[in-house]
Amino acid sequence: MTIRGRIALVSAGAVAVAVILISLVTYSGARNAVMGQIDEALLDRAAEVAELRSAQFLAVLGISREVVPRNRLVPPRRGDFDSAYYQVILSDGRVFHVGPDDLVLPEPPAAYVNSEESTLRSVSVDGVHFRIVTTVHREGRAVVQIARPLTEADAALARLSILLVVGSLVGIAVAGGVGLVVARQAVKPIDDLTLSIGLIADNRAFFDRVEVVGHDEVAKLATEFNLLLDELESGKQQQVRLVRDAGHELRTPLTALRTNLEVLQRHKVDDETRIALLAAANAEVEELASLITEVVDLATDRYEEETVTPVDLADVVSAVAERLETRRDREIVLVIEPSVVMGRPNALERAVSNIVGNADKFSPPDSPITIEVKDGTVTVTDTGTGIADEDLPFIWERFYRANTARSEPGSGLGLSIVTQIIDDHNGTVFARSSVSSGTSVGFTLPTVP
């Protein structure tokens, strides 16, 4: 079901509940008012009968000759709203009916006969609905029942119920129609937004933006979608730049490798030259493999698949330092203390390895590298030539290499990978350097309490 349909349905349902409740209250109030008037009239007549003296009461039944005022007992007419039927049951079991109509009323329950007050009940006699009041005439030692037909009252209440039902249905239908109109107007901004998004998706025009109108929820949604388009456009631009830069970086080792192979293929060379050319070709292949691995790592974020667990940065640094000392015979000075963070162990190890690898690459062979770990911060300090101030802000960019580092092997992706890994861990990277006095590079991550 569409949002428009749901809004119309909810509004119609709310109106339906309200109309039904109002109709029930109205019908109940009207019924109580009508029945209250009838009950009051019956109780008044019961009180009049109870006030008759014994002789007068017996005269009513034809047992006594005493004259009874004519307004005491009104002759009944069956079905008339204002008519009343009298039935008297003497203590000896005889039953008398007052009036020309011999309507037989059902005998009252024993509880009613023994009651000190007049009691009311509703019954049906010969298909006619009656309201009956039962009272006890103490002097005449008789039970008197006075009945009034509810034909007119029931008919009036039936007409009222029909009007309420019809009115409710009309109200619900009108509410549904109004709900559709209101829903159409309310959903129109969403329809416009959907159309705009569809056009952008169909044309793949990620540089377009959705028009933001107003400050309501739809406007907020449009703003968030524009932010998403910003991210998509930025990601597409980075992808294009990565492919372009990677192609440029791949061209250099491929050219050198092809040149060496052509020399070996087309020219006769001595063993020493051939060995040198093959060694150079092998070095270019290794550089190509390293570059491809780093490009894949940077483009795919493969470390995001790793589970996040508590990681002690001291253990990560110790493992990287031990591996570098073994492979490069480099002295590593560790100044570390336990520092636990939430992270992906392999990803953090790759970040530390890239930083330490850069320090090893640009440090003199006999100089040590110092690695410090404290409060979620890892700092790697070398004693190399340092980085110029104009180059320092760009060392985290992809494929960026300072002029002094262009002769060194590498792809220029190592610190970019570090930035990506640390950003994924909600951390920050930093670099401090001065020419001829070395460089300190590292990162800071939130620690676990």
Q: What is residue 381's predicted lDDT score, i.e. its pLDDT?
A: 92
Q: What is residue 302's predicted lDDT score, i.e. its pLDDT?
A: 62
| Cβ neighbours of residue 291 closer than 8 Å, sequence gap 6 or more | 246, 249, 250, 253, 411, 413
Name the class of domain 218-300.
Answer: mainly alpha
Give, to the nearest 10 degrees, the angle between helix 271-300 and helix 414-424: 20
Residues of the chain with CATH 3.30.565.10: 306-444
Q: Is the pLDDT of residue 81 over 70?
A: no
Sign of CA dihedral 87, 90, 96, 99: negative
The string of pLDDT tens digits covering residues 63-75 is 544 443 434 444 4
Residues of the chain with CATH 3.30.450: 3-157
pTM above 0.85, yes or no: no
Q: Is the pLDDT of residue 387 over 90?
A: no
Q: What is residue 248's predicted lDDT score, i.e. its pLDDT?
A: 59
Q: Which secondary-structure segment (H or E) carries 399?
A: none
Q: Which secondary-structure segment (H or E) carries 332?
A: strand 332-336
- Decide which of 2.40.50.140, 1.10.760.10, 3.50.30.30, 3.30.565.10 is the CATH code for 306-444: 3.30.565.10
> What tokens does 411 get?
């792809």
Instruction: Compare 58 and 106 and report the one with higher pLDDT.
Output: 106
Q: Is the pLDDT of residue 30 over 50?
A: yes
Q: Is the pLDDT of residue 313 over 90?
A: yes
Name the class of domain 3-157.
Answer: alpha beta
